[in-house]
Amino acid sequence: MTTSDTPRGSARRIDLTKMGEGRYKATNARGGVLPVGSGDDPDFTPVELLLAALAGCGAIDVDLITGKRAEATTFNVVAEGHKIRDDQGNRLVDLRVTFDIGFPEGPEGDAAREALPRSIEQTRDRLCTVGRTIKVGADITYGEA
């Protein structure tokens, strides 16, 4: 697929600016700011941000689907993986996203509980842009401005 053949959706962008030694500031188009660090400070590392993006993407999808039936009483998501270095370079393997969600008693809660497994499958197989990009892969171009 050539660049002209690449499907184009709604563009996304963040800008990253150095704040100090091993510390950076990511800024989105809406003015949101997120510190990024090398692991020597409390800031999220890029790998942790990838895991947070994976968990957050799935959480938003699942919450939107199940929340149409009932508001969750508890909602926790864990994303984890193992960072390795091998002949393919540094990367994460054995990625896992686990949902621990509770719903109220009653018919609405029952409907949300019933919808939960399918909503997780839909997130995994189709909805979560972050997870789908990891699974399917995407070309990355590195260069200078």
In order, the DSSP letters of the chain are --GGGS---S---EEEEEEETTEEEEEETTS-EEEEE-SSSSSBPHHHHHHHHHHHHHHHHHHHHHTTT---SEEEEEEEEEEEEETTEEEEEEEEEEEEEE--SSHHHHHHHHHHHHHHHHIIIII-HHHHHHHH---------
| Domain that includes residue 55, residue range | 45-137
115/71 same-domain check? yes
pLDDT of residue 2: 45
102/128 same-domain check? yes
Condensed to tens digits (0 to 9), the pLDDT of residues 58-74 reads: 999 999 999 999 999 99
For the chain, which residues score pLDDT lower than 50?
Answer: 1-4
Assign residue 82 the CATH number of its domain.
3.30.300.20
99 domain residue, yes or no: yes
6 domain residue, yes or no: no
pLDDT of residue 1: 44
122/92 same-domain check? yes
Tell me the pTM.
0.89
51/16 same-domain check? no
